[in-house]
Amino acid sequence: MGPAMSADVGGGPAGSWKVTLPCTRAEAEAIDAGPELPLDPAPTLATSEEVLDDAEAWRLDAYFAQQPSAHAIAAIAALAPSAGAAPLVERLADEDWVTISQAGLAPLHVGRFFVHAGDETPPAGTRALRIAAGRAFGTGHHETTSGCLAMLDALERDGAAFASVVDIGTGTGLLAFAAAYLWPGAAIVATDIDPVAVDVTRENAAANGVEGIALVVADGTLDPAVVGPAPYELVIANILAGPLVSMAPELAAIAAPGATIVLAGLLETQRAAVVAAYQACGCALAEVDRRGDWSVLRLTAGAERFVPSGPFDPKGRDGWALDL
């Protein structure tokens, strides 16, 4: 299993030492957001899945340009308190660890999209999107993101047209970029609770020549810059089941009557709870794309715009961008 993504919180030449320990997906998400480490120079951190789709079976690798001190090892261990064991410290041969850390990110071809992390030549007729593994989730290689890409591509092929789009928990911006390509001229808002992710999206947009997307650091929809342009004809949220359930009234409230809502980041075992939360807000399930243990949902908003009965409950927000 290749690295799902990496967080470059340091720099310098190829590392010659590696500190490894197990972690959970939740810890990996926190690590990949770019933790502040009391180390100078800082190591480069990479997280990866040890067991596909197992939230408890992840790995943290920290690359150092020189032998790490006991203080440095302790700082790395503090990032993964679930490990319950001493980190593995090993001397590496003189290798390009950046190449090693990216090796698992083979180019991904989904519909009309070719997502890659390097200099690969895209197939004819595809829209290439260069999304390197970096400081935010969303390289497209996880079933949730590739499933969303496939669903968006199919929607456009079937004649769907959207003038307004919002991407909640945008991560690297990949799904917002896809929407901009499929529906040029649409007003698109991309949000994330993590300011690092928004910075990454801005960088990726410039690298891919994507213009006109409004980027907002926001907790769900709880920002005037997200609510102001509502209602949206297409709502995308690729996060996690807990936030999806918590945010059901928020997302339904910013959806236009009859809007398309694409939800991902949930396991098949969590589908019923997520669907029930949105049905309670007047939405109807239109399609399920099951990919392994994961499901991508397409729902249709009610014929009348949903009006919440009370203030939004911010509980359940922990754990945002999921795409690997």
CB contact at 8 A, 214 and 176: no
Give rounded-to-5 percent helix, strand, coil for the chain. Answer: 25, 30, 45
* Residue 199 marked in a binding site: no
For residue 74, give the H/E element and its range.
helix 70-77
CB contact at 8 A, 201 and 215: yes
CB contact at 8 A, 266 and 244: yes
> How many other C-beta atoms are found inside a 10 Å radius of the C-beta of residue 293?
14
Extract the tokens encoding 78.
């503090």
* Residue 24 marked in a binding site: no
Give me the sheet containing 113-116, strands edge to edge.
108-110, 113-116, 127-130
CA dist 188 → 67, 178, 183, 240 (Å)? 47, 11, 10, 22
**Looking at this protein, which amino acid is placed at residue 63?**
Y
Helices and strands (DSSP H and E) totals, the chain = 10, 15
Task: Compute the distance between CA of residue 299 and CA of residue 78 in angstroms, rounded to an integer.
Answer: 41
* Residue 192 marked in a binding site: yes
* Residue 99 marked in a binding site: no
What is the rounded radius of gyration, in angstroms, for the C-alpha atoms of the chain?
Answer: 20
SS3 readout for 171-232: CCCHHHHHHHHHCCCCEEEEEECCHHHHHHHHHHHHHCCCCCCEEEECCCCCCHHHHCCCCE
Residue set of the binding site for S-adenosyl-L-methionine: 145, 169, 192, 238
Residue set of the binding site: 145, 169, 192, 238
